[in-house]
Structure 1
Amino acid sequence: MRIDAVLALFSDVQAAELTEWVERGWVQPESGDGDWIFQEVDVARVRLIHDLRRDLDVTEDALPLVLSLLDQVYDLRATIHCVMRALETQSREVQEAVLNELLATRERPRP
């Protein structure tokens, strides 16, 4: 999807603003034929930034921190999903041992 198609999805986002988001690294489309190619994940990122800026009034200064924290949450969720899939391949005994350790760890007081 080219930039004009992305802009058509967001009537209140101007080309200069979207260009700035790309230049700041907040959105990372592919470069092709001298133009940016936005994949589905890039459009989702534009939607996220749009919503944070317009609906939640996240300032431009705070946006990098918010995006970084959200990226960390998404990465952690993906990692947990991978661990769960790996755990599903283990024996029932191993699964129970891991579950018991997780429960015990959560109950221990934190320093």
Structure 2
Amino acid sequence: MKLGKPEFLQSVGLETRTLDIWIEQRWLVPEPTPSGPTFSDRDMARARFILDLKDTFGVNDEGVDVILHLVDQMHEMREALARLRKAMP
């Protein structure tokens, strides 16, 4: 499912300025379209994860940045292992 910016903001419960900052920090990377950015289910899950880190666990911006980097590395590693498994006889 793809959402435009207004629907995404409402669905996740973010303010526009917060979303803009997260996009500037590349915590979220929406798909650019002629009508504006669109957000995927993955973006929504990531935004909720960021909210949990900040609001529930009290993680500061630098910590969020490190955690997101590590999570991204973990996903890349899982994808690489899946490709390796497929390539093996």
Same fold (TM over 0.5): yes
The aligned runs of 1:20-39 (5 Å cut-off) are 20-33=21-34, 35-39=36-40
Between Structure 1 and Structure 2, whose CA radius of gyration is higher? 1
**Deviation beyond 6 Å, 4+ runs, structure 1:** none
In the superposition, relative to structure 1, how do residues 31 and 40 fare at CA in structure 2: closer, same or farther (>3 Å)?
Answer: same
RMSD (Å), alpha carbons: 1.5
Which letter maps to 1:3? K
Which letter maps to 1:10? V
The total of aligned residue pairs comes to 87
Gaps spanning 5+ residues in structure 1: where? 91-111
Distance 2:77 2:57 in 1: 24
TM-score, with normalisation over the residues of structure 1? 0.69
TM-score, with normalisation over the residues of structure 2? 0.84
Equivalent residue of 1:31, what SS?
coil
**1:74 to partner: Cα distance:** 0.8
Q: Percent identity of the aligned residues? A: 25
Instruction: Choose from 3, 8, 11 the match for 1:9.
Output: 11
Gaps spanning 5+ residues in structure 2: where? none
More relative contact order, 1 or 2 (CA 8 Å, 6+ apart): 2
